[in-house]
Amino acid sequence: MRSATQEIKPVLFVLTSHGVKGDETGEPTGFYLGEVTHPLAVLDAAGIPVEFASIDGGEPPVDGLDLNDATNARYWNSEGFRHAVRNTSRLSDVDPKNYAAIFFAGGHGAMWDFPISPAVNNVARDIYEAGGVVAAVCHGPAALVNITLSNGAYLVAGKNVAAFTDDEERAVKLDRVVPFLLASTLSARGAHHHPAADWTAKVVVDGRLVTGQNPQSATGVGEALRDLLTA
pLDDT digits (tens, 9 = 90+) for 55-84: 999 999 999 999 999 999 999 999 999 999
Distance, CA of 192 to chain centre: 18
What mean pLDDT do residues 13-33 have?
95
Residue 221 lies in a domain: yes
Residue 171 lies in a domain: yes
The pLDDT value given to residue 10? 98
Would strands 209-212 and 203-206 be described as parallel, antiparallel, or unpaired? antiparallel
pLDDT tens-place string over residues 147-194: 999 999 999 999 999 999 999 999 999 999 999 999 999 999 999 999
**25 vs 40: CA distance, rounded Å:** 31
Residue 152 lies in a domain: yes
Residue 2 lies in a domain: no
pLDDT at 85 > cutoff 90: yes
pLDDT at 5 > cutoff 70: no
Q: Does residue 129 have an active-site annotation?
A: no
CB neighbours (10 Å) of residue 15? 31
Q: Tell me, what amino acid is at 20?
A: V
Per-residue burial over 95-131, b if 16 or more Cβ lie within 10 Å, else e, is ebeebbbbbbbbbbbbbbbbbebebbbebbbbbbeee
Q: How far is CA 135 from CA 4, 78, 83, 101, in A?
A: 23, 25, 24, 8
- pLDDT band at 6, cuts 50/70/90? low
Q: Does residue 223 have an active-site annotation?
A: no
Residue 50 lies in a domain: yes
Residue 4 lies in a domain: no
- pLDDT band at 230, cuts 50/70/90? very high
The pLDDT value given to residue 3? 43
Nearest to 105 by CA among 149, 67, 72, 152: 72
The pLDDT value given to residue 1? 41
Distance, CA of 2 to chain centre: 25
The pLDDT value given to residue 7? 86
What mean pLDDT do residues 25-53 have?
97
Residue 196 lies in a domain: yes
Among candidate residues 18, 139, 168, 193, the one labeled active-site is 139
Q: Does residue 59 have an active-site annotation?
A: no
Among candidate residues 18, 35, 108, 138, the one labeled active-site is 138
Question: What CATH number is attached to the domain comprising 27?
Answer: 3.40.50.880
- Spatial strand order of the sheet with 11-15 comes to 89-90, 50-54, 11-15, 101-104, 133-137, 209-212, 203-206
Distance, CA of 5 to chain centre: 28
What domain range is 224 assigned to? Answer: 11-230
pTM for the whole thing? 0.97
* CA end-to-end span of the chain: 5
**31 vs 40: CA distance, rounded Å:** 14
Q: What's the mean pLDDT when you consider all of the chain? A: 96
- Scanning the chain, the segments in alpha helix (DSSP H) are 34-45, 70-76, 79-86, 110-113, 118-129, 166-171, 182-188, 218-230
How many structural domains comprise the chain?
1
The pLDDT value given to residue 23? 81
The pLDDT value given to residue 170? 98
Among candidate residues 38, 168, 169, 193, the one labeled active-site is 169
pLDDT tens-place string over residues 91-123: 999 999 999 999 999 999 999 999 999 999 999
Residue 154 lies in a domain: yes
pLDDT at 44 > cutoff 60: yes
**116 vs 93: CA distance, rounded Å:** 16
